[in-house]
Amino acid sequence: MPGDKLGDQTRADFRFPTEKQFELMAPPEAKPGYSANVSETENGEPLNRTITDEKGRTIYYEEYWYVKDKVPSPDSLGGHRQEFSDYDPKGRVSTEVGQNFPDDPKHKDHQWKIEHSYGEEDGSHTMSGVIETGPEAGHRWKTIEQIRDLDATRRIIVETTEILEQGKSQDKPVAGSVFRKTKFFENDEYLGEKAELPDGQVKPTLAPGVEELPNWQY
């Protein structure tokens, strides 16, 4: 497992090493009121670790994953992910930075940053993200999340993502592409979601036990 000191690197001005210096970052140092939750596989290999601050907010998340159908071990490690979060004075996430170290050749090492802003009047939540280093560097996107209460029991959450820059990788969506995801809830129970893709495809996802998405007007 990584070391135990990070200093000021969870601040909004955090910057990673250069692309050629990918390295595991140490998690935040322990402070009064901080707590850590660690989980492992049945044979003792690491799965994830969460560190929360004195207010119970997650400031660090670390995850390991393993090659499917193989016993978890250092030799079957599929990848490793780290994420650091910072908060604004109202306790809302303001900045996230993270990095992935996939051993799986289907994925790529990359380091990313997401900045959050909030609409005080309409309650919207905007996430502006960029992949800062790695083969997909320069890929930028913006996601706007809006919550709509249709009545006392029905709620939808609409997430609209626009690609601002494709970046270095031609495998990423081109600038101007728009993705929309609508999540459905009734009595606070998640029913499923509908994804609308730039090519016009609509892909539904149903929660367990749900046979079809509701046909609500909104």
- Encode pLDDT of 143-194 as tens digits: 999 999 999 999 999 999 999 999 999 999 999 999 999 999 999 999 999 9
Buried b (16+ CB within 10 A) or exposed e, 59-95: bbbbbbbbeeeeebeeeebbbbebbbbbbeeeeebbb
pLDDT, tens digit, 9 for 90 and up, residues 107-133: 567 899 999 999 988 899 999 999 998
Cα 86 to Cα 12: distance, rounded to the nearest angstrom: 7
pLDDT, tens digit, 9 for 90 and up, residues 183-197: 999 999 999 999 999
Q: Kindly report whether the global pTM for this prediction surpasses the value 0.75.
A: yes
Q: In the chain, where are the structural domains located?
A: 1-107, 138-208
pLDDT band for position 106 (cuts 50, 70, 90):
low
Which distant-in-sequence residues (6+ apart) come within 8 Å of 42 by Cβ? none
Does 10 have pLDDT greater than 70?
no
Q: What are phi and psi of 139, to 5 degrees?
A: -75, 125
